Amino acid sequence: MMKTKLSVLAMMLAPALVWGQFSHIEVDEIENGGVVAGRTYRVYAVMESEGDVIDAIFGEAGKPLEISSASGFYQHPKGGGMASEVQRYDIQNDATLAFDSWVSIGLEDNYMNSLTAFPPETGFFEAFEAGGMLTTDNGAWFVLPDKRQALAPEDKRILIAQLTTTGVVQGLINIHGRTKAILDAEGNVESGANLIQAEGITFTCGR
């Protein structure tokens, strides 16, 4: 799958709180070959160090989460609002499913993906799954912090969304996690494991 590195159209806009080692957002444009309308973007949270953790992307009262496009998002009938709902087998049999719009932490499909929504019976994905805006002031998508997908790899980039649209994407998110834990010989935390809480992070795709 070909991709084009975009100039980083993301910034920290007057964040209410930034602790720990979140650095910035990067956006890649993924070549979709025209099999679906519009352009496909992948959004990454870039950490300061390999092994830093993101365990939740959230919205709460006074700190909303909003991801929108004036022209809406491409949503495949076999896809879902989260990457954990997109079956790898189905992607192999339908090229258009590979460009479904979803959110994630670290992974691009269901394989070994423990991503889930909070609250469990939440309805805030419904509009997004229908092609509309993803927004909440009382919800999150998350993984347990000990899951491999939550850890920043060598390039320090953690995948948090794929978005396909004919318009311009505007995003406002909040990130929760922790810095890499340094363990002693007995497996006890010696240093690190400090809170990462970055709020009011904005990004743009397609401008």
pTM of this prediction? 0.88
Complete DSSP assignment for 6-22? PP--EEE-S-S-EETTE
Strands 53-59 and 139-142: antiparallel
Q: Which residue has better confidence, 10 or 5?
A: 5
Residue 89: predicted pLDDT: 95
Q: Taking the domains of the chain in order of start, what are their residue ranges?
A: 3-205
Residue 7: predicted pLDDT: 37
Residue 187: predicted pLDDT: 60
Q: What is the pLDDT of residues 50-102, one digit of tens each?
A: 999 999 999 999 999 999 999 999 999 999 999 999 999 999 999 999 999 99
Q: Is the pLDDT of residue 19 over 60?
A: no
Q: Is the pLDDT of residue 4 over 70?
A: no
CB-based contacts of 165: which residues, under 8 Å, 6+ apart?
38, 39, 41, 69, 71, 72, 73, 74, 101, 205, 206
Give the pLDDT mean for 149-154. 96
Q: What is the pLDDT of residues 111-148, one digit of tens each?
A: 999 999 998 877 899 999 999 999 999 999 999 998 99
Return the minimum-mean-pLDDT range out of 8-12, 68-72, 182-186, 203-207. 8-12
Residue 3: predicted pLDDT: 56
Return the minimum-mean-pLDDT range out of 3-7, 125-129, 147-151. 3-7
Q: Which residue has better confidence, 15 or 67?
A: 67
Give the side-chain half-sphere CA count within 13 A for 191.
0
Label residue 5 by pLDDT band (50, 70, 90). low
Q: What is the pLDDT of residues 32-55, one digit of tens each?
A: 999 999 999 999 999 999 999 999
